[in-house]
Structure 1
Amino acid sequence: MMTNDMLLGKLENVLKAITTTDLGASRLAPAKQQLFVRTVSQATRILDEARRIDMTSHTHDIDRIAFGSRILQAATEGEAPTGEAKPEFSTNKLESVEVIGVSGITDSTLEDNIEREGFEDTLIQLIAERVGVDLEELFLNGDKASSDPFLAKTDGWLKKAANLVQGTTDFDPTNVEAMFDAMIHAVPKKYLRDRSQWRFYVHWDIEDAYRDVLRARGTGLGDTAQTTATQLAYKGIPVVDSANMPAGTALLVNPANLVYGIYRDIRIEPDRQPKARRTDFVTTLRVDCHFEDENAAVVGQGYTG
């Protein structure tokens, strides 16, 4: 078994291999930072499909440009066209907030892995996978009015979406397909051109209820929904479950419209706990989320089953 001093020496070498020294020894080196961010993005289905921005400063503007009306008109030979269609410009802003996490790794785990090649990457992946799950929770459920200090750091996608449908008021809260229909109807139709590019991100209970609806129809699709984990879709829109989605809630959106940013200064620092035979790795980073266009997103709430 390694002594405490031996373990500290090994850990010091590991951290030197993954950090830079120009802005403090805890800042991840560029290559390791890319691995960390990539692992965070792949940790959940929503983050993997959303659009990530690697922020070079603490704020970042998300600009969009679109024509709100027709630009073509009838052409008449010898006459110049009248009028001019002007594009509409809009900007949303990412304003990064700092979050911190503590990941404890026991000495037995370190001793089993410290001599293996690539332990630096293993360490980063262990931390980044959990960070990804937690960031998805923040980006979905963030609310500056929340009593949860973590969720109060920023407003998430569920709060920032411009369209909301609610059970009883807008749909039968016991009918999952009625919920999906109400959400589709709430999307401004200029956005809903290619349904296959959109997603119903839902809580597990909603995805499961939809499988039960298909099963009850006694069709081949119903059998498949019951016996396999095949990807479901409703009217051409894939239905994707997320563990971080609140119960009875769904988000209808094109994932390319979901934008989140991670500021490049990611820090990992060790905090040795010798009495517990554990080392805590303290990770700090700055993040935020928004839509490119919040009008092209619908939240459904209040499904009860």
Structure 2
Amino acid sequence: MFVLKKKRAEIVQKSQIDTTALGTGVLNRAQANKFIDLIIENQRILNLITTKKVDNAKGQIDKINITTHVLRKQGSEGGEETETSSPNVSSVNYDCQTVVACFDLTTEAEEDNIEGKGFRKTLINGFSKAISNDLAKLVWEGDSSLGSSTAEEKLLRTFDGIHIKTQSCPNIVDANGTGVSLLLFKDLLAKLPKKYKTKGYKKNYRWLVSTNISEDMQYAYANRATPGGDSGWTGDLVLKPFGIIMEECPYLPEDLTIGTAATDGTFMLLADPKDNMILFVRRKITFHYDFRPRKGKTEVTIYMRLDFEIPNLDGMAKARSISCDSSTAYSG
């Protein structure tokens, strides 16, 4: 029993990111999993989608879907059935791109802070939150065609995110510069192919909306003279248009161009993010924690490799060209 307890203790210890002893090197598997979890837990969209921790920078995973008819009237009794159906096996390829995070810690800041010996741990936790914010923005707005003249472009050019990938979604509703309305939710739901509307699908699907749309819908609901409306003043509202939970996504862009002039555009999605959106994170995460005595600072550098994929664009619906500021609501 003593040996087993000792081994368990060693496993727990190895899974902790001990920043006081952290030097240059690759995190072990347990540490890498813990650091990835720290990043994922800080942003809602990262919680909603699937995070696939992988050991290789490139690879593929297989997804099986049955989209054809499988039932048919039996042929001649006793005869052999010659018509068969096969599952559609599709491969999701990933190619993780390298990203780097750097920050400098001055000797004064490390010595004079109120955290004391826990300062480095607090710093790493804070830095993981900053990485989480950047990653959420990248998942939504990533565009591999961008240049690298600004810090934001250097971030967003890592890979194509949801906005770019869903431009080829076959199930589109165009709001044409009008604001959100309940009818927009209805029309978007109608665009989702029937084969995805299986029993219980509403438990897995989500309305993914920007902060502006979420607040507009909450205001409209709370402004009703009903007990439900009153609840908008006493607690958090969980809105479920047509029985599907609406999720506010703060990094869903609200400054997209509509037509040739307006720049208050946004979009919304009806999707099953857990099944149909995958963030690939390679476990080989490298920390460089180097003290530079002549410069009076410690340089912290983190290398990671990431990719993002949407396996099935047909399994979602998108409403585009929604205005955040228009006083005219979508009317079809």
Give the Å deviation of 1:181: 2.4
Equivalent residues of 1:26, 1:269 under 8 A apart: yes
What is the identity, as a one-letter code, of the residue corresponding to 2:310?
A: F
Give the Å deviation of 1:31: 2.5
- 1:291 paired to 2:293: no
Gaps of 5+ in 1: 1-13, 20-24
1:113-124 aligned at under 5 Å gives the runs 113=115, 115-116=117-118, 122-124=122-124
Equivalent residues of 1:18, 1:120 under 8 A apart: no
Equivalent residues of 2:22, 2:289 under 8 A apart: no
For residues 275 and 182 of structure 1, do their structure 2 counterparts lie closer, same or farther at Cα, with a shift above 3 Å needed?
farther
Identity of aligned residues (%): 22
For residues 38 and 220 of structure 1, do their structure 2 counterparts lie closer, same or farther at Cα, with a shift above 3 Å needed?
same
TM-score normalised over the length of structure 1: 0.82
1:19-30 aligned at under 5 Å gives the runs 25-30=24-29
Deviations 1:25-61 (A, max 9, x none): 3322222212101111111111112111111111131
Aligned to 2:181: 176
Equivalent residues of 1:176, 1:206 under 8 A apart: no
Separation in structure 2 between the aligned mates of residue 36 and residue 232 of structure 1, nearest angstrom: 32
Alpha-carbon RMSD: 2.6
Give the Å deviation of 1:77: 4.8
What is the identity, as a one-letter code, of the residue corresponding to 2:126?
A: L
For residues 229 and 279 of structure 1, do their structure 2 counterparts lie closer, same or farther at Cα, with a shift above 3 Å needed?
farther
1:1-305 aligned at under 5 Å gives the runs 17-18=21-22, 25-75=24-74, 77-105=77-105, 107=107, 110-111=110-111, 112-113=114-115, 115-116=117-118, 122-147=122-147, 148-161=153-166, 162=169, 163-168=171-176, 173-193=178-198, 194-247=201-254, 248-256=266-274, 257-270=276-289, 272=291, 279-304=298-323, 305=326
Q: Secondary structure at the match of 2:157?
A: helix
Q: Secondary structure at the match of 1:235?
A: helix
What is the identity, as a one-letter code, of the residue corresponding to 2:208?
A: Y
Deviations 1:171-206 (A, max 9, x none): x72233233223222222212331121111211100
Deviations 1:68-90 (A, max 9, x none): 22223344652332311122222
Q: Secondary structure at the match of 2:240?
A: strand
Deviations 1:212-241 (A, max 9, x none): 221233222222234422322211111111
Equivalent residues of 1:195, 1:237 under 8 A apart: yes
Q: Secondary structure at the match of 2:154?
A: coil
Separation in structure 1 between the aligned mates of residue 22 and residue 81 of structure 2, nearest angstrom: 62
Separation in structure 2 between the aligned mates of residue 187 and residue 34 of structure 1, nearest angstrom: 35
What is the identity, as a one-letter code, of the residue corresponding to 1:192?
A: K
Equivalent residues of 1:176, 1:209 under 8 A apart: no
TM-score normalised over the length of structure 2: 0.76
Equivalent residues of 1:36, 1:124 under 8 A apart: no
Give the Å deviation of 1:288: 0.5
For residues 108 and 219 of structure 1, do their structure 2 counterparts lie closer, same or farther at Cα, with a shift above 3 Å needed?
farther
Q: Secondary structure at the match of 2:281?
A: strand
What is the identity, as a one-letter code, of the residue corresponding to 1:255?
A: P
Equivalent residues of 1:259, 1:291 under 8 A apart: yes
What is the identity, as a one-letter code, of the residue corresponding to 1:36?
A: F
Q: Secondary structure at the match of 1:217?
A: coil
For residues 183 and 18 of structure 1, do their structure 2 counterparts lie closer, same or farther at Cα, with a shift above 3 Å needed?
farther
Q: Secondary structure at the match of 1:178?
A: helix
Give the Å deviation of 1:153: 1.8
What is the identity, as a one-letter code, of the residue corresponding to 2:95?
A: E
Equivalent residues of 2:20, 2:120 under 8 A apart: no
How many pairs are equivalent?
A: 282
Aligned to 1:10: none
For residues 143 and 298 of structure 1, do their structure 2 counterparts lie closer, same or farther at Cα, with a shift above 3 Å needed?
farther
Q: Secondary structure at the match of 2:252?
A: coil
Separation in structure 2 between the aligned mates of residue 276 and residue 230 of structure 1, nearest angstrom: 51
For residues 26 and 16 of structure 1, do their structure 2 counterparts lie closer, same or farther at Cα, with a shift above 3 Å needed?
farther
Separation in structure 2 between the aligned mates of residue 45 and residue 221 of structure 1, nearest angstrom: 25
Separation in structure 1 between the aligned mates of residue 253 and residue 315 of structure 2, nearest angstrom: 20
For residues 208 and 29 of structure 1, do their structure 2 counterparts lie closer, same or farther at Cα, with a shift above 3 Å needed?
same
